[in-house]
Structure 1
Amino acid sequence: MTTDPRTLAIINDLRKLPAEAPWAEFKENNPDGQMIGKLISALSNSARVADQHFGYVVWGVRDGDHSAIGTTFEPGTRKENGQPLDLWLAQRLQPAIDFKFETVDYHGTRLILLTIPAAMTAPVEFDRSAYIRIGSATPRLSEHPERLRALWAKLQPYAWETGIAAQFLTGDQVLARLDYASYFDLTAQPLPDNRAGIFDRLLADRLVQQDAGGHWNITNLGAVLFAKRLSDFAPAIARKAVRFVAYDGMSRANTVTHRQDGQRGYAAGFKGLVDYIDGLLPRNEHIGKAFREDRPLYPSIAIRELVANALIHQDMTVGGAGPLIELFADRMEITNPGQPLVSPDRFLDLPPRSRNEALASLMRRMRLCEEQGTGIDKVIFAVELHQLPPPDFRTEGDAVRAVLFAPRRFAEMTPEERIRACYQHAALKFVSGQRMKNSTLCERFGIDPKNASQASVIIGQCQKAGLIRPADPTHPRAGYVPFWA
């Protein structure tokens, strides 16, 4: 029997409701399994419509005046068709949800609290029927199409970011865990002179949520962006920290020279991470037409954008994995967990699709990444300006990997790299309102115009690979466009 402070605070708040809410129900001793199954479905669906994270059933509270009178209901020993009640219910609920019965010592009175997570990806069904709460009735959801539409409208934008990273915290505990000063600085907002103002802004950007009894929850979004220490949170958050590893050779078998496991949230620690990487990079005195006496081996804008992309586009639901940045003698690899939502060969032209829209929106607002749809353009532009081998975007198992290569002369590039560079150059020209020509490809590779036939060979190979085509077959001098144009 629990006396957990948060559980007691939840019951206190529920008892203060003027009447049963669509996501809250009071019972005295009714233990019927069919009734409970329908209620779980109805309250889960209704909670999502009402923007609540949980629905609740309390046994032992009188419906009329919400007095705590106690209950004889014993969910731990209750059987349905010879099965334990919780197992019987779980087998009949789809999608599966993590409901929980608790026996509560409520100031000396025995109550039962059933906590039901709000529907997340689809309406919750019991015995293949979804239910909804309307007043004190629990009808089938299919009988009320307007409510079904309202539920689906709420389900569509549901995302990992709105989940709870830490719950039932005091205001002091929230401010101790989040770098709220960085939030106000990065979003260019003045720091309020009182706590209420601070929490109003954190709440508006969904970094925190109100919990029971005047307490607060930190959302996954708040934790992953602004945690002072990601290790202060559960492993599902802590393992999303960015890892950086540098090797003294060209493979992972070589000696590790530098390693850093990020502890701060992405936004709070982004500048420090990029500066740390930049400080480790060798300097190159001359890189083609982008000559500078003190330039890092890789363009800073390319590193910044690819790191930001890895943070934004990762699949947060992949357990035990976070973004990984690896520096080798001849390349840099940036990997994020999750299958791409857009084919890697279309990263440049297709509108980006992000699993983490709230995170992406805040990162753009804080100018930690480029405007939507322009990041990869800038990466390829910078690579071409520095006449580096073309970046490689590919799927590796259940992850996406972007590879930047160290400077190499045109003669040292592989045939595959030349073809990939030709395709990326054609795509970059097209999205810029231009067309690739033999002369522009010579410029991209640093080929002397006297040797323009080398560019012609590459264009022919790229056409044969099906990656580009003539812009106008009847006018060969019109240039070339990517295959999807």
Structure 2
Amino acid sequence: MSGQRTLALIDESRHLPAETAWVEFKVNNADADMIGKHISAMSNAARLADKAYAYLLWGIADADHAAVGTTFEPSSQKQQSQPLELWLAQRLQPAIDFRFETVDYHGTRLVLLEIPAATSSPVEFDRLAYIRIGSATPKLSDHPERLKVLWAKLQSYAWETGIAAQFLSGDEVLSRMDYAAYFDLTGQPLPDNRQGIFDKLVADHLIQSDVGGHWNITNLGAVLFAKRLSDFPSSIARKAIRFVAYDGNGRADTVTHRLDGQKGYAIGFTGLIDYVDGLMPRNEYIGKAFREERPLYPSIAIRELVANALIHQDMSITGTGPLVEMFSDRLEITNPGQPLVQPERFLDFPPRSRNEALASLMRRMRLCEEQGTGIDKVLVAVELHQLPPPDFRVEGDAVRAVLYAPRRFADMTPQERVRACYQHAALKHVSGQRMTNSTLRERFGIDPQNAAQASGVIRQAIQAGLVRPADPEHPRSGYVPFWA
């Protein structure tokens, strides 16, 4: 915390008409059990009040909020032969990053304890959760109505609401964020005054007010609209999307192009897609009258898969972000995090996202398709170009989507043919149709006289448990995916 912010915070806290559930004053009371219970209670109370932090201040008189100073020294205090901070940390669950700070407040020594609001579950001290009600610190379990509300708040808490940059002046906010792009992409007129700009940014949870007339940029605001992600902590900067191109089929081959994202997703997305498209090999297509060049992979498929990687990544995984890799025979898009839906059900399951605010804003800005239609469009484009089926798979703590370069049916592996059959059946089913031998032949580009080839693939897909006859008594009525 900056020294200026600390002083502004203390000034505002002293001018509160009374203590709140997230701000409390002490003078010299340094009882370790009291501090532990207060950390639990105030962390939970801050979340209930939609505050990012709670604060416990030593050296402020309760009665008139006068700065009287304190003798409390957290760095030297021991509890059961352990440093106080270690003793407290061992007894708090889940772990939170509380911080003591000694402050010279206009010549008076104060101590500030900054307590982050609960995020994943109620914060407990010695296996008990507490809450602040007035000046009391009762057990949270004794107040089931508050516990219920707290759990509702915790379930809606998301990474996007966290703070990426704190205590910034208005000029600093506008210098770090491409606010003009925000208005342009969301189709809103740019206000003619600063207050109008800030009101809109607050409404979309891109910034929030801080003490002393200053501002915070949220994780959502930074990751979408940062002019330079490197202006923010590594937890944000490392979320930048990266692109790498190789001159062969493996990562041991020579890197021909590399692009490390510098901008927020919203303002850098179109540039990245254009960059990838510009490097993509072209195939010559001969139509009825003209020759034309077509990209190796459908642009709508790349656009949607990259958008999905941004939206569905697990932001809590640090040190990594989405990655796009181009090989001579395929394009791989990887995002950190286990999927919330099994890959074989991406097409039909209602979409679930860890980052709902990010997904909602990207859809409003038309940077990705409407909710639930993205994978449909990927598969439709792949079938239209008669490409091998895309592969969606889980690898460690990441999800990888692979687009393959054109290959004839004869050159596809048996596994690829079966996967294409399943995806085709699923695509037909969600559009209210059924897969038949004829539709599968068209998808693969198989001549009618070779219908047995399509029948063989359907038989293998049935044996693999991926498709089944729509009507077992009438096999010619078509086929549906196993979950239909």
TM-score bracket for this pair, using the shorter chain length: over 0.9
Per the TM alignment, residue 238 of structure 1 is displaced from its structure 2 partner at its CA by 0.9
Please name the residue that 2:62 is paired with.
Answer: 63
Q: How does 1:23-102 map to 2 (within 5 A)?
A: 23-102=22-101
Q: Which residue of 1 aligns with 2:144?
A: 145
**What whole-Å deviation, never above 9, does each CA across 1:411-461 have from its counterpart, x for those lacking one?**
111111110000000000011111101110011011111211110010001
Distance 1:314 1:452 in 2: 42
Cα distance in 1 for residues equivalent to 2:391 and 2:156: 32
- 2:253 corresponds to: 254
Whether the aligned pair in 1 keeps the contact of 2:140 and 2:146 (CA below 8 Å) is yes
Contact kept in structure 2, 1:3 and 1:105, CA below 8 Å: no
CA distance in 2, matches of 1:247, 1:77: 56
Moved more, 279-288 or 385-394: 279-288
Q: Counterpart amino acid of 1:286?
A: Y
CA distance in 1, matches of 2:38, 2:287: 69
**What displacement does 1:292 show?**
6.9
Cα distance between partner residues in 1 of 2:15 and 2:443? 70
Match of 2:175 in 1: 176
Q: Which amino acid aligns with 1:265?
A: G
Q: Deviations over 1:268-311 (max 9, x none)?
A: 1111111111111111122999x971221110100000000010
1:451 paired with 2:423, answer no
Does the aligned pair in 2 maintain the 1:288–1:386 contact within 8 Å? no
Matched residue, 1:395: 394
| SS of residue in 1 equivalent to 2:167 | strand
Distance 2:43 2:109 in 1: 24
Runs ≥4 residues deviating over 3 A: none
Alpha-carbon distance change, 250 to 476 in structure 1, aligned in 2, over 3 angstroms:
same
Q: State the AA in 1 paired with 2:227.
A: K
Q: What are the residue-to-residue correspondences of 1:328-477 with 2, within 5 Å? A: 328-477=327-476
How big is each residue's C-alpha offset from its partner over 1:364-423, in whole Å with a ceiling of 9 and x where there is no partner? 111100111110010000000010000000111111110001111111111111100000
Matches of 1:287 and 1:234, distance apart in 2: 51
Other structure's SS at 2:423 match:
helix
Counterpart code for 1:476? P
1:151-180 C-alpha deviation (Å, 9 max, x unpaired): 111100111111111111111111111111
What count of residue pairs does the alignment treat as equivalent?
483
Deviations 1:37-77 (A, max 9, x none): 11111100000000000011111111121111111111122
Are the aligned partners of 2:286 and 2:292 in contact in 1 as well (CA < 8 Å)? no
CA offset digits 1:206-243 (Å, max 9, x no partner):
11111111111111111110110111111111111111
What is the identity, as a one-letter code, of the residue corresponding to 2:343? Answer: P
Q: 1:397 and 1:231 mapped to 2: Cα distance? A: 27
The Cα shift of 1:3 comes to 8.1
RMSD: 1.4
Give the SS at the match of 2:147: helix
1:159-170 to 2 correspondence within 5 Å? 159-170=158-169
Percent identity between the two aligned chains: 77
> Match of 1:285, SS?
strand
SS in 1 for 2:292: coil
Q: CA deviation at 1:249?
A: 1.2
Give the whole-Å Cα distance in 1 for the aligned partners of 2:33 and 2:63.
Answer: 23
> Structure 2, unaligned stretches of length 5 or more?
none
Task: Give the residue type in structure 1 aligned to 2:423.
Answer: Q
1:293 equivalent in structure 2: 292
Q: Provide structure 1 residue ranges, at least 5 long, that are not aligned to the other structure.
A: none
Alpha-carbon distance, 1:81 to partner: 2.1
Q: CA offset at residue 82 of structure 1?
A: 2.2
| Secondary structure of 1:105's aligned partner | strand
Q: Secondary structure at the match of 1:434?
A: coil
Q: Which residue does the alignment assign to 2:11? A: 12
Q: Verify the 8 A CA contact 1:79 1:85 in the aligned structure 2.
A: yes
AA partner of residue 362 (structure 2): M
| Equivalent residue number for residue 157 of structure 1 | 156
Separation (CA, whole Å) in 1 of partners of 2:444 and 2:262: 40
Counterpart in the other structure of 2:213: 214
Counterpart of 2:445 in structure 1: which amino acid? G
Q: Deviations over 1:83-110 (max 9, x none)?
A: 2211111111111111111110000011
SS in 2 for 1:25: strand
Contact 2:131 2:140 in 1 (8 A): yes
Q: Name the CA distance, whole Å, in 1 between partners of 2:356 and 2:201.
A: 17
Contact residue 309 and residue 322 of structure 2 kept, 8 A = yes
Instruction: Give the SS at the match of 2:480.
Output: strand
Counterpart for residue 273 of structure 2? 274
1:115 and 1:231 mapped to 2: Cα distance?
26
In structure 2, C-alpha distance between the alignment counterparts of 1:32 and 1:389, rounded to whole Å: 67
